[in-house]
Structure 1
């Protein structure tokens, strides 16, 4: 299956993408991985991306599109793929469509993970990270440490990262609504979108997604 995963920050796209890709036996392709791989390997596109990032600028669509095309040309995508974070806007979606048409293939579905805005803010703004090891994360509601403000793993101080602040989260949501959300309507015109609730246990959300994909494919 060839799938695009869409949803606001805090919807759990990364977690769901990993589970879905494993269940469907297809590669999970995330924008973050594309950037890291190209930059670490020193590809021409990676060097371009790094120059923009180092200058504090957004990486142009054409660079991101180029990375995505190169990755989709890989032999492991012949049986399908799951795209997470790409396309990020309608221009990128149009470029993806053109790429797929050239290769005589098409998307099977677009999964839209739906989460209320207040829940997104609660999920992200409630995160706390250990100053000693950023891999140690907790949450003031969902994963409380045994001692408030203290990491269970190493005893380090727990703090709220700047990019987890409520103001930053709401700004990220504004950017999502303005730039990425329009691709949902774009794909609805192709009758590809299945919207599912991303609330509840991870396994339940994954099952909803699997059921939606099966229903969409048989429709």
Structure 2
């Protein structure tokens, strides 16, 4: 069974009433609820020792989901480098929403990962623009979220290998909301939805995306990689 670790800052849900109402047990537990029936799931948070991401935990993790927002700088460089290394070695990595600024993601992308945003609670429509991609399996052509935070272009990331979703917002903005990358042996899927004060991770279609993404990002055997001088 695929081993999944869900990492969450777990700050907003303890500090803001709206976030606590949306996710009374934490965003990580809402995501875990979407995955537990199909995967071997564990959770970790920022305030756990070593942020819950020790070498042993990551060694036993096939796919890491990451939710961060207000405390990116509190993630230790040691842990960020550890995650980076494990992705290159083959661990799947799924940064969610504001995790475009997470240390592991910016290291993997090599860019600022900056964007535009507006917290207005407007409607978002995620259009499936790559319907043949495994992450789009079982979805309709559009996912509508009635209340969300707007993210807008330009999004300072490298050109994705595959683009699964493009979002439209009430203000007219569009955004690349489902970006697939490969770094080393690891697969990365950035997925935009998931603001802390809206219960987006309870949406059935979003939960289907997360399950599909875990399946897609899971490590494959492949061929061994050898570097350096060969005798």
Q: TM-score range by the shorter chain?
A: 0.3 to 0.5
Specify which structure has the higher proportion of strand: 2
TM-score (norm 1): 0.36
Report which of the two has the higher share of helix: 1
Higher relative contact order (CA 8 A, sep 6+): 1
Scaled by the length of structure 2, what TM-score is found?
A: 0.35
- Structure index of larger Rg: 1
